[in-house]
Amino acid sequence: MIVAWLSIENFRNHRATKLSFDAQRTLIVGPNGHGKTNLLEAIALLDGSGSFRGASAETLVRSGCERAFVRAEIQRNRRAHLVEMEIAAGGRSRAQVNGQRVRSLRDLAEVVSTVVFCPADLSIAAGGPSVRRELLDSVLTVTDREYRATRLDFERILRQRNNLLKQAGHRPDAEAMTALDVWDAQLATAGEVIARRREALCSALSAPAGAAYDQLAGSAVELRLSYAAEWRHHTLAEALAQARRDDLRRGTTTVGPHRDDMTVCLDGLPARTHASQGEQRSIALALRLAQHRCTAQISKVEPVVLLDDVFSELDEDRARRLVGCLPAAQIVVTSATGHVPSGIEGHSHVHVRDGEAAPAKR
């Protein structure tokens, strides 16, 4: 997959920017805080997964404006697709492909596929479960249409169940209990599918992540991934029934895929608590590389690689090893200094300052 060009209007600090990208390497250079990452964020938004910085729509729209627009020409399997997104500061965002509106933003994954490497990725190994769940879901959303639909159903059912739990309080009546039975059955059906797919993906990611980690670290260490869900000793229906009293007391659903985790172990020890910061950084990079490989193998399309100032966070040896691990895909990389390791130099250079981008003088 190739991003041929990107056009953004009233997006973050960019009033109107249009850029063409080299099919292999594009280096975006500029001072920190001037809008380099915003360009990568705009590209990544077009896969329908939301901002990799966790930003709300209101934050994405330029101050003083009501909406922002992101457009790009995507070349996939020798076909060109025009992907357009309208981001509303105070309403629902919309998108279309080749002039046809998509029902859900997540359906953009049928056309656009990206993998983002950024300094915040350290949280993949060191942070909470939601970061690792999101990594699994990002692969499955792109590669599995049924999973995408099931996850949307699960989220809708979960919202309904949680609303009912809050309304019912500590003394639910017969009507509330009957409604809970209905939501529990639906949640269990969708949740079992999600857990099975995530568990299978953990197994699929383990080998490529382990191989990538060995290359990045320069040593052979066992990296193991496993899906962690305490309720998997039972069915989700049984787990929900056992947790119902506690759920009513708390007003929220306490068991299910929305609470699960992916355990990452290094030589048999949990990386979150036992790995050094350098090891955690290598784990994060290895998992992103494995994410790219699995996505490419399943979808038969190479996702675009977006490297957001990653090399500034790495020592020279680790940076050189990462370059050696990068896939043969289109790569867009940002740098505050323009100095990047040998092998990652941009065929095309762009300079960004104060939300304006232009070809850099070389």
pLDDT tens, position by position, 144-185: 999 999 999 999 999 999 999 999 987 889 999 999 999 999
For residues 84 and 98, give the distance between their C-alpha atoms in angstroms, rounded to a whole number.
8
The number of residues making up the chain comes to 362
For residues 214 and 63, give the distance between their C-alpha atoms in angstroms, rounded to a whole number.
45
Query: What phi and psi, each to the nearest 5 degrees, are found at residue 12?
Result: 50, -125
pTM of this structure: 0.93
What is the predicted pLDDT for the residue at 344? 83
What is the predicted pLDDT for the residue at 361? 64
User: C-alpha distances in angstroms, 141 versus 107, 146, 168, 234, 342?
Assistant: 9, 9, 33, 26, 34
| Residue-level pLDDT, tens digit, the chain, 362 residues | 999 999 999 999 999 999 999 999 999 999 999 999 999 999 999 999 999 999 999 999 999 999 999 999 999 988 999 999 999 998 889 999 999 999 999 899 999 999 999 989 989 999 999 999 999 999 999 899 999 999 999 999 999 999 999 999 878 899 999 999 999 999 999 999 999 999 999 999 999 999 999 999 888 889 999 999 999 999 999 999 999 999 999 999 999 999 999 999 999 999 999 999 999 999 999 999 999 999 999 999 999 999 999 998 888 888 999 999 999 999 999 999 888 888 887 788 999 999 999 887 65
Full set of structural domains in the chain with CATH: 1-113+302-362 (3.40.50.300)
β-bridge mates for residue 305, sequence order: 115, 331
CB atoms near residue 111 (< 10 Å) = 22
**Which residues, 6 or more positions from 227, have their beta carbon under 8 angstroms from its beta carbon?**
195, 198, 199, 202, 260, 261, 262, 263
Two tokens, residue 54 = 């966790």
In 3D, which of 121, 3, 24 has the Cα closest to residue 70? Answer: 3
For residues 336 and 332, give the distance between their C-alpha atoms in angstroms, rounded to a whole number.
14
Do 248 and 168 meet the contact criterion of CB atoms below 8 Å apart? Answer: yes
**Which residues, 6 or more positions from 104, have their beta carbon under 8 angstroms from its beta carbon?**
48, 148, 152
